[in-house]
Amino acid sequence: MSSLLHTMIRVGNLERSVDFYTRLLGMKELRRRDVPEGKYTLVFVGYAEEATGAAVVELTYNYGTEKYDLGNAFGHLAVGVPDVYGMCEALRAAGAKITREPGPVKFGTTVIAFVEDPDGYKIELIERK
């Protein structure tokens, strides 16, 4: 059976992104691969080991590239958290940009919020008790 393995995003500063996804969002650094012949480094982050089937994020750093044009097509990554309000307060205190305050989704009841990662990628926080 096929499975969704990861989503890859290019980042301008690997340790800045690893810190955001691990220290602030609570993910773990699962593995890291430096490919000097390709002038890039990969770091896989997630809430569970890939072997469990959990979807993970592949952070790709291209040597020397500190900024990307994200364009207008990318939507967001979604993360389930037990307390969206508390997570937003912690993210805000850590200097992250909350772009949509926590509250019920329009025309629904699920509590969501949006935060930007260090490169400006949108992360949707969805309340999952």
Ligand X SMILES: C[C@@H](O)C(=O)SC[C@H](NC(=O)CC[C@H](N)C(=O)O)C(=O)NCC(=O)O
Residues in binding site for Zn(2+)? 58, 76, 124
Q: Output Rg (C-alpha) for the chain, integer angstroms.
A: 15
- Contact between 78 and ligand X by CB under 6 A: the answer reads no
Contacts of 120 (CB under 8 A, 6+ apart): 70
Q: How many CB atoms are closer than 10 A to CB 17?
A: 23
State how far Cα 95 lies from the chain centre: 15
Pick between residue 3 and residue 109 the one whose CB is nearest to ligand X: 3
Count of residues in contact with ligand X, rule CB under 6 A: 8
State yes or no: residue 119 binds ligand X (CB under 6 A): no
**Contact flag: residue 8 with Ni ion (CB under 5 A):** yes
Catalytic residue among 15, 29, 49, 124: 124
Judged by CB under 6 A, does residue 117 bind ligand X? no
Residue 89 a catalytic site member: no
| Whether the Cβ atoms of residue 90 and residue 113 lie closer than 8 Å to each other | no
Question: Which residues are catalytically annotated?
Answer: 124
Contacting residues toward Ni ion, per CB under 5 A: 8, 58
